[in-house]
Structure 1
Amino acid sequence: MVMHRKSAPLIMLWMLLLPLATLHARPKDSGPYSATRAYYQRLITPAKPDIAGLRLFFTLMPKGGDIHQHFTGSLYAENYLEWIQREGCWISKSDYSVITPKDTDRLKDTVSVKNLRSNRAMSSDFFTHWSDKDYANHYHDQLPPDAQFFNTFIYFSKIFNSNRNYYREGLLKLKERAKNENVQYLETMFVSPGYQKSDPVFDSRARSGVINIDNKDFRTLLDSFLLGVTRDTLFNDRVHQYRELVESSRKGVDDENFILRFQSYVSRNSPPSVFFSGLYTAFYEADKVNGVVGVNIVSAENDPVALGDYRLHMQMFRYLKEKYPHIRTSMHAGELASGMVPPEELKYHIAEAVSVAGAARIGHGVDIAYETGALSTLMRMKEDRIPVEINLTSNEFILGIKDEAHPVRLYTGSGVPVVISSDDPGVSRNSLTEEYVLLASRYRYSYDEVKQFAANSIIYSFLKKDEKERALLLLQKKFTEFEGRIADFARRK
């Protein structure tokens, strides 16, 4: 197996940290590790796995990091209601959006948070708008699942616009939840860069002709537009504001047992000029702002703009990766299913994210089995150690993909590194613990494999090398303690 030169030493470090029994297990192995492995095996062996037992097991098990997580979608609607009440805002009765005192034309159609909470029917309806709660057991007019999921994000931004202190408060809530379920690292998609430059002429030219940075005219077009961005005083103002927000929000959050880092990101459903200016700003911030460790591309991949401009976006990533080769990218790619888009749109997204855009990690990667070059892509992901971030709950809700239809076994069977992540636990009303429960109960991965998935969340994170090494040492310490507790519990049963 060929290992990417940057990840190979860390993988070897993790292997050295594991107990010898992990690498050379024998039926008569004794000790906490073997007892834990045997106990876990008993939980997943029956025809119907012990779900309650698995929940207890994974609640206690150290899970390393959660490295595919959207900040605003990770907070629960209850958190937002608390802030809405604190700010003296209201909720619209018609669409459940946030109404501020400045929205004078809409104040009549509102309800206070207190009255919303006391009205059971209205409160229930609120949660079905602000999250996926009760979606499956309500038989009434509903949005398609993907629209339901992505529409929830429309509600969140107004709260942060009213009081930026909620960014820090929200991060502290996520830290508390992470530590409660034995997660030591969060790499969250925090906020978008805040700068965009609209240019209809650029939009037209970027979408016509040869879309490839090897083409002189296309590269010149990008060069010229980027020069205008860097000369815009608003660009520097937005970068400065972003730096201040990041620094104030993360101050004092890290401790000896917990690390928080951010990804900047850009929406894929914007005109080319808006997308490219935002993408450049995201790369610039990842280069200049402490705590910002990578760049991502987000929003619905099946949106008409996202589909029409997909190859354009990949070339823009490639262009900026040339300018910032040290900036790492985790890219939502292949978050698609058969019937959601025309068949030809299932043929190339993951391949281009890997081979053209130079993605260091792939988010979701669900449509891999439909891709024309899937065998080559899987081999490259294996050889270059490009992991896939698996999000079982959101894949089931948005795409209807679950159980044997999910490609997680295809990835692990091909030797591609896998990371288990939560995506948007506030919207999905789930947790990283529950993702592991689904993984174990559906696919019966061994304890050693599950343990490796946890380690992968650190090995393939965007932390610096020395930070990863310390984090792996901490993870091994936590596993030693965990296995001691499980072994003792198993003996007492």
Structure 2
Amino acid sequence: MHRRAHLYLFLGVLTSSSCFVFSVAAQVPSNSQQSSTRSEAQAASWFEAHRAQPAALRAFVQRMPKGGDIHSHLSGAVYAEHYLEWAATDGYCVNPKVGALVEPKACGQDSSYFPASELLNRTSVYDSLINRWSTRNLEFAGKSGHDQFFEAFSGFGPISDSMSRRDDMVAEVANRAASQHITYLELMLTVQGSEVRQLGREVGWNKDFALMHSQLLKGGLTKLVILGSQQLAQLEREVWKTLGCGTLSAQPGCAVTVRYLQQTTRTKSPVEVFAQLAYAFELASSEKRVVGINLVAPEDNPIALRDYTLQMQMLQFLKRQFPNVKVALHSGELTLGLVPTEDLRFHIRQAVEVAQASRIGHGVDILFEERPFELMEQMRRLGVLVEICLTSNEVILNVQGDQHPFREYWKAGVPMTLASDDEGISRIDLSHEYLLAATRYGLGYKDLKRLARNSLEYSFAPGNSLWKSPEFKEMVPTCASDTPGETSVSQGCSAFLHKNEHARIQWQLESEFARFESLRNLL
């Protein structure tokens, strides 16, 4: 079924007719390249002419193709209003005394509880729940942005942690992505989390990672991986149905390729963390929908701080067992004052050097690291991408503007892209992050275009890249004579794109850039 989704997307990108037409490869006329360069220059000129008009720039970046959002937590990406809508439909109640959801089976335990379906008539409670489940009206929350942000998850947890609404969650995020001309998502979620942690507790801790891994496999880890794969297959079918894909009423999210990162909660005991990581690597190595793994939860949590090096060593061991599994890590989501200074000096380095992470999420404390400029040069050389989440860093860490290492990463040539992190909790979207990057750091259209291309170049989508190098100057020889956005593609390039999802989503982005830059009115 997923192959059908890819075919549907592929045909829609490469041709405006209902069938795909092959053509014999021909040399691209020089005036085609010149036209493309001229169109890009015109878009860049428009952008600069409107730089003093943020509202116009917002419209521009919303319409601009952005490739992918590769750092997005599924549960935090959903807006609170949708959780409240589902709570009403699914029979939840509300405890007005503490401002919390009550599961349907417990609705009769207190006479003060009222059905969530009545929330629209109790706007004060409705508004208070949205404020609790997001950083809206943060200045009136009486909490730091850090605490308000992370506590929001527990509010909608009864819904987000269950499987009953996960298809609706994915559908909402995919539709929002499509509305912003985002065509690829890597969503972080947890599959079989509690079951895996329970297995870890049953097996027990052992400093010998190889022995513990073996015991987990003997104890039933493989069975849980099979169940997890089945769960994801079921989720995919449900998302397909929820979005109406393949029908005349298909929603925009059908055109978005969705992949997953299996996440591990870093705040659990060592044996539970290792079990989760072992499960994540096993799942990612066998399940095509899972393209990588990540660690989640506050990096400043005392257990996360205590066990940081140990967890990096776990990742190092598992990466050696599964060299093809991609690793993205939340690392350096810290700042001065939040933790003791010694905890600011090694997290990113260990993520890169020990855990062999291909991508770093946030990376805010890089300039507090030992030998930071040497580390950034190493990241540039290795091609370790930094996922920049500007709004999240401002809300959680109170780091923004020139306090943020954005400019230093940029000057050092470290690969970067923009990401939303938790757009529902932060009440933003990825377009907002592009606007912030442009207005705060003076980025132009070509700079934003590079960030968008990076989101796909450094994505974990399987297959080969469309580009000969991350400089984006030349496509691979097979497609070098083809022009994205044209109605026909040579047989060789078509075969290459069919075989490589990575190149296919990149081709789609380039096709969208060609269409965008040819618009007479860029808004």
Q: Shorter-normalised TM-score: what interval?
A: 0.7 to 0.9
Q: Does the C-alpha gap of structure 1 residues 199 and 100 become closer, same or farther in structure 2, counting only changes over 3 Å?
A: closer
Q: Does the C-alpha gap of structure 1 residues 373 and 95 become closer, same or farther in structure 2, counting only changes over 3 Å?
A: farther
CA distance in 1, matches of 2:40, 2:164: 44
- Using the TM superposition, give the Cα deviation of residue 224 of structure 1 relative to its aligned residue in structure 2, in angstroms: 2.1
TM-score by length of 1: 0.85
- Say if 1:63 and 1:182, in contact at 8 Å, map to a contact too: yes
1:240 correspondence with 2:239? no
- 1:210 alignment counterpart: none
- 1:226 alignment counterpart: 213
- Using the TM superposition, give the Cα deviation of residue 223 of structure 1 relative to its aligned residue in structure 2, in angstroms: 1.9
- Say if 1:99 and 1:106, in contact at 8 Å, map to a contact too: no
CA distance in 2, matches of 1:279, 1:409: 33
User: Between Structure 1 and Structure 2, how many residues are aligned?
Assistant: 445
The alignment partner of 2:393 has SS state of helix
- 1:4 alignment counterpart: none
Which of residues 39, 50, 61 in structure 2 aligns to 1:32?
A: 39
Which of residues 90, 95, 118 in structure 2 aligns to 1:92?
A: 95
| Cα deviation digits, residues 77-135 of structure 1 (max 9, x gap) | 11111111111111222333321232267443423223322223222211111111111
- Using the TM superposition, give the Cα deviation of residue 32 of structure 1 relative to its aligned residue in structure 2, in angstroms: 2.3
- 1:10 alignment counterpart: none
- 1:175 alignment counterpart: 174
The alignment partner of 1:168 has SS state of helix
**Structure 2 gap segments, 5+ residues each:** 1-27, 247-253, 464-499
- Say if 2:87 and 2:116, in contact at 8 Å, map to a contact too: yes
Moved over 6 A (4+): 18-25, 253-256
CA distance in 1, matches of 2:120, 2:352: 47
Q: Does the C-alpha gap of structure 1 residues 63 and 344 become closer, same or farther in structure 2, counting only changes over 3 Å?
A: same
Q: Does the C-alpha gap of structure 1 residues 126 and 227 become closer, same or farther in structure 2, counting only changes over 3 Å?
A: same
- Say if 1:187 and 1:261, in contact at 8 Å, map to a contact too: yes
Q: Share of identical aligned residues, percent?
A: 31
- Say if 2:107 and 2:113, in contact at 8 Å, map to a contact too: no
Q: Does the C-alpha gap of structure 1 residues 388 and 231 become closer, same or farther in structure 2, counting only changes over 3 Å?
A: same
- 1:185 alignment counterpart: 184
**Pairwise mapping of residues 200-279 of structure 1 onto structure 2 (< 5 A)?**
218=207, 221-233=208-220, 235-251=221-237, 252=240, 257-279=255-277
The alignment partner of 1:102 has SS state of helix
- 2:290 alignment counterpart: 292
- 1:13 alignment counterpart: none
**Structure 1 gap segments, 5+ residues each:** 1-17, 207-217
**Pairwise mapping of residues 244-393 of structure 1 onto structure 2 (< 5 A)?**
244-251=230-237, 252=240, 257-393=255-391
- 1:113 alignment counterpart: 116
**Pairwise mapping of residues 396-411 of structure 1 onto structure 2 (< 5 A)?**
396-411=394-409
Which of residues 424, 442, 451 in structure 1 aligns to 2:449?
A: 451
CA distance in 1, matches of 2:108, 2:300: 35
| Cα deviation digits, residues 459-486 of structure 1 (max 9, x gap) | 000001211211111111101111112x
Letter in structure 1 aligned against 2:521: F
1:127 correspondence with 2:130? yes
- Using the TM superposition, give the Cα deviation of residue 273 of structure 1 relative to its aligned residue in structure 2, in angstroms: 0.5
Letter in structure 2 aligned against 1:177: R
CA distance in 1, matches of 2:267, 2:441: 34
TM-score by length of 2: 0.80
Q: Does the C-alpha gap of structure 1 residues 58 and 20 become closer, same or farther in structure 2, counting only changes over 3 Å?
A: farther
| Cα deviation digits, residues 187-234 of structure 1 (max 9, x gap) | 00022442113549955xx6xxxxxxxxxxx4xx2222222211123x
Letter in structure 1 aligned against 2:335: A
| Cα deviation digits, residues 371-412 of structure 1 (max 9, x gap) | 013122101110011110000000000000001111111111
CA distance in 1, matches of 2:32, 2:270: 50
The alignment partner of 2:69 has SS state of strand
CA distance in 2, matches of 1:20, 1:364: 41
The alignment partner of 2:364 has SS state of coil
Letter in structure 1 aligned against 2:42: A
CA distance in 1, matches of 2:127, 2:255: 37
CA distance in 1, matches of 2:341, 2:32: 43
CA distance in 2, matches of 1:275, 1:446: 42
The alignment partner of 1:332 has SS state of strand
The alignment partner of 1:489 has SS state of coil
CA distance in 2, matches of 1:20, 1:84: 58
Letter in structure 2 aligned against 1:227: S
| Cα deviation digits, residues 148-206 of structure 1 (max 9, x gap) | 111111133322555x2411122111111111110000000022442113549955xx6
The alignment partner of 1:442 has SS state of helix
